[in-house]
Amino acid sequence: MATYDLLVIGAGPGGYVCAIRAAQLGLKVAVAEGRATLGGTCLNVGCIPSKALLHATHELHEANHNFGRMGLVVPQPQVDWARMLAYKDEVIGQNTTGIEFLFKKNKIDWLKGYASIPAPGQVALNGETHEARAIVIASGSQASTLPGVTVDEEVVVTSTGALSLKAIPQSMVVIGAGVIGLEMGSVYSRLGTEVTVVEYLDQITPGMDAEVCKQFQRLLQKQGLTFVLGTAVQGVERTAAGAVVTHKSRKTGKEDRLEAEVVLVATGRKPFVDGLGLDALGVQMTPRGQIATDAGFATSVPGLYAIGDVREGPMLAHKAEDEGVAVAEILAGQHGHVNYGVIPGVIYTTPEVATVGQTEEQLKAEGRAYKVGKFPFMGNGRAKAVFQGEGFVKLLSDKATDRILGCHIIGPMAGDLIHEVAVAMEFGASAEDLARTCHAHPTFSEAVREAALACGDGAIHA
């Protein structure tokens, strides 16, 4: 048994970042992690492996479709699936062992095993009880599947199974046109799988800027993905050849079925709190099954905190990380906080989709007077050179003050471009501030500047 200033449960982006910052601030820290490797969902079966497969298949797409246009004559690329999976696993390994190194460097104890909280200030695992002045729960989330759908992670899979399929399927039905469905759907579509995405609502990526959604859907369809929108999945049955998905149109009530070799259930994730003993402790939960916390991440039990996917807010690695830093600072007597108004969201398809701040639909609903500055990548020389002129940047600013309220980008490197706007928003900048900042030519970021110009006197290249 040992006594710590801080014991973190879960070594995902929330937990491991919290532990490192707390150790840097002088606290004696341990992290309990049940998985065999550090890094949580994100590094092991989430962000990192999905981005590795997106990268590999993007390169395949470039070789198949754009190399010839640039005078690069190469033989038809062949996919060695086993090697592609090995590359993905190598990337995971590099990242998870990197966290082990950081733990050693910061003198953080890794307690291996699944932990429970028998009493306030105590964490039990492997038959031992450890004491801690503060406990931070960062136990993350798990896939939430549909009633009547049995996941076997071979034919009917969540994202975890989809990251390690035994073979590339000829056909795949994806249930849910959210982030996982579209990223993993893109991976397999580029590998030659016939991908059909069934979505309950009438648009893909619900909640995102409507114009972006429309263009995104158009471009994905052009790449070969098929969408069945406004349709509720009724059930999934295993067959000898794969599975059958039965679904019903929400408008017409018409029932139909889709057969596929693999079915990916991507209908959202839910907090993971199994085995922690929260009921017995009397920890207050939200109606959505999240751990309820106050603005300082404190739960209803003194000395017990929660961060990341297990509490409210977007289920994103960087949101979990920022909460990890904030709670560590609070525990060290500082004033950590997270600005939830400026958390970017990125979908790593081609083109990428990125968003920060409010959407036009949200501003309309609030009755806020705003300006829209839009600029198409078709007017950006660099984007045209890489065959990615089909997206746009949309910047929203306050009508009276010109303060930036949001930005929505579909186009090349959108996930990186969005951060110039995020920084500007943190500084309370106006669209004119961005527009008057010299941007190097030729860069994709000139499209952001042009959108900012379009909020004022007008873009130059439109």
Spatial contact of 33 and 112, defined as CB atoms under 8 Å apart: yes
Contact partner, 309, from ligand NAI, ligand FAD, none, Cβ < 5-8 Å per class: ligand FAD
Give the C-alpha separation, 380 to 384, whole Å: 7
**What is the C-alpha separation between 134 and 303, in angstroms, rounded?**
5
Task: Give first-to-last CA distance, the chain, whole Å.
Answer: 67
When binding is defined by CB under 6 A, the residue of 206, 230, 277, 303 that contacts ligand NAI is: 206
176 is in an annotated binding site: yes
CA–CA gap between residue 247 and residue 193 (Å, rounded): 21
182 is in an annotated binding site: yes
Among 266, 417, 431, 454, binds ligand NAI (CB under 6 A): 266
Distance CA 110, CA 32 (A): 6
How many residues bind to ligand NAI according to rule CB under 6 A? 26
Mark whether 441 is an active-site residue. Answer: yes
Min dist. Cβ of residue 455 to ligand FAD (A): 28
Q: Cβ atoms within 10 A of the Cβ of 101, count? A: 10
Told to check if 117 binds ligand FAD by CB under 6 A, we report no
Residue of 235, 268, 277, 313 that binds ligand NAI (CB under 6 A): 268
Closest among 409, 441, 399, 407 to 424, alpha carbons compared: 407
Question: For 276-430, where are the alpha helices, taking DSSP H only?
Answer: 278-281, 317-331, 360-366, 381-385, 414-426
Q: Is 456 exposed, middle or buried (0-12, 13-18, 19+ CB in 10 A)?
A: middle
The site map against ligand FAD for 255-274 (x = CB under 6 A) is -----------------x--
The CA distance from 46 to 142, in Å, is 11
Q: Which does 336 bind (CB under 5 to 8 A by kind): ligand FAD, ligand NAI, none?
A: none
Q: Toward ligand NAI, which CB reaches closer, 6 or 316?
A: 316
Q: Which of 95, 141, 293, 299 binds ligand FAD (CB under 6 A)?
A: 141
Q: Return the residue of 6, 7, 8, 9 that touches ligand FAD, per CB under 6 A.
A: 9
CA distance linking residue 44 with residue 220, whole number of Å: 27
Q: Is 352 in contact with 412 (CB distance < 8 Å)? A: yes
Is 232 a binding residue for ligand NAI by CB under 6 A? The answer is: yes
Helix runs in 33-80, H state only = 40-45, 47-65
Say whether residue 199 binds ligand NAI (CB under 6 A): yes
Contact between 12 and ligand FAD by CB under 6 A: the answer reads yes
- For residue 201, the partner it binds in ligand FAD, ligand NAI, none, with Cβ less than 5 to 8 A by kind, is ligand NAI
Give residue number: closest CB to ligand NAI: 178
Token pair for 300: 């209803």
Strand partners, 285: 291
Rounded to an integer, what distance in angstroms lies between the CA atom of residue 437 and that of residue 448? 11
Q: Site for ligand FAD (CB under 6 A): which residue of 6, 7, 40, 297? A: 40
Which of ligand NAI, ligand FAD, none lies near 10, with the C-beta cut-off 5 to 8 A by kind? ligand FAD
Q: Which of residues 396-435 bind ligand NAI (CB under 6 A)?
A: none
85 near ligand FAD (CB under 6 A): no
Specify the DSSP class assigned to residue 438: -
> Tokens representing 293?
């916390």
Among 33, 183, 209, 261, binds ligand NAI (CB under 6 A): 183
Quick one: how far is CA 217 from the chain centroid?
18
What residues are annotated to the active site? 441
Q: Give residues in contact with ligand NAI (CB under 6 A).
A: 146, 175-181, 183, 198-201, 206, 232-233, 266-269, 314-316, 346-348
Q: Give residues in contact with ligand FAD (CB under 6 A).
A: 9-15, 32-35, 40-42, 46-47, 50, 114-115, 138-141, 159, 180, 272, 275-276, 308-310, 315-318, 320, 348
Binding site residue list for FAD: 51, 309, 315-318
